[in-house]
């Protein structure tokens, strides 16, 4: 494999059905603590956290960690939660954090995926429902961008911020707050020098991570409302001009019974 694609990452995705701990699904403070505990047990390092309590019910919690990000989206009325846990490098154990979340929420059924990000082409996740009983609870677009050649340097903070700030409006989403973005610790992780950031949406959120030495970027868009994947990819090409894109689109919360 070409060294320029050696940007190893683990991405765990889980859909939790018929959760017995329904009260926690609508407890914003409790879910923030659960996500923080899951990050800690995974040997990852929390940088910042954002959460939103929906009316009449439901919560989104998104955490940026030094190693990438973690998020949870809940639908108490359906006893359902969707979980995302993405970490770069080999020092973390996101499986332990996912296990803690599942154990705490006590679902009767779990649909889960383990994805290798950034180290091979043609990212594929198998998701073939035998019977779709209801509309999806969410929509998830995962993008790995290789050999990026933006007009401005990869290290340009304004470029990354503006991308996160303007993309929601172009896919008809509403921001909860301005983007949060930070530079990774280049002394601690020189091979992962780049930006990590997210913009919280009323509909869920967008995560962004770059690795400057590899000219590599990941962008993940999760929403409870359908959006144009073509528009997302068009905007990415306009700003970051990647030579290759691996993409995967998932319907989240499909009941496979």
Q: What residues are labeled active site?
A: 68, 73, 88
In sequence order, the 6+-apart residues with CB closer than 8 A to the CB of 86 are 9, 10, 11, 12, 68, 69, 70, 94, 117, 207, 209, 218, 220
210 touches 194 (CB < 8 A): yes
The 10 Å CB-count burial string (b at 16+, else e) for 132-150 is eeeebbbbbbbbbbbebeb
- 109-117 and 46-53 as β-strands: parallel, antiparallel, unpaired? unpaired
- DSSP labels for 16-83? EES-S-HHHHT-HHHHHHHHHHHHHHTT--EEEEEEEE-SSS-EEEEEEETTEEEEEEEEGGGTEEEE
């Amino acid at each position: 494999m070409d060294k320029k694609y050696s940007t190893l990452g683990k991405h765990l995705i889980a859909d939790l059905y018929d959760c017995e701990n329904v009260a926690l699904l609508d407890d914003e403070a409790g879910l923030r603590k659960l996500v923080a505990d899951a990050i800690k047990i995974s040997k990852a390092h929390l940088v910042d956290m954002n959460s939103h309590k929906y009316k009449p019910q439901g919560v989104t919690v998104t955490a940026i960690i030094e190693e990438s990000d973690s998020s949870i989206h809940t639908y108490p009325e359906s006893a359902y939660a969707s979980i995302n846990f993405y970490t770069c490098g080999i020092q973390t154990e996101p499986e332990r954090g996912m296990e803690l979340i599942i154990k705490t929420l006590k679902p009767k059924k779990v649909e889960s995926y383990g994805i290798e990000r950034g180290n091979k082409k043609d990212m594929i996740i198998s998701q073939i429902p035998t019977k779709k009983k209801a509309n999806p609870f969410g929509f998830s677009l995962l993008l790995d961008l290789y050999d990026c050649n933006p007009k401005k340097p990869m290290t340009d903070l304004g470029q990354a911020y503006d991308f996160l700030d303007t993309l929601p409006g172009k896919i008809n989403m509403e921001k909860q707050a301005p983007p949060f973005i930070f530079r990774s610790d280049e002394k601690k992780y020189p091979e992962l020098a780049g930006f990590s950031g997210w913009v919280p949406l009323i509909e869920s959120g967008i995560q962004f991570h770059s690795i400057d030495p590899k000219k590599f970027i990941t962008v993940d868009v999760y929403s409870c409302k359908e959006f144009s994947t073509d528009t997302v990819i068009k905007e990415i090409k306009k700003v970051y001009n990647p030579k290759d894109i691996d993409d995967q689109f998932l319907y989240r919360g499909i009941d496979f019974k």
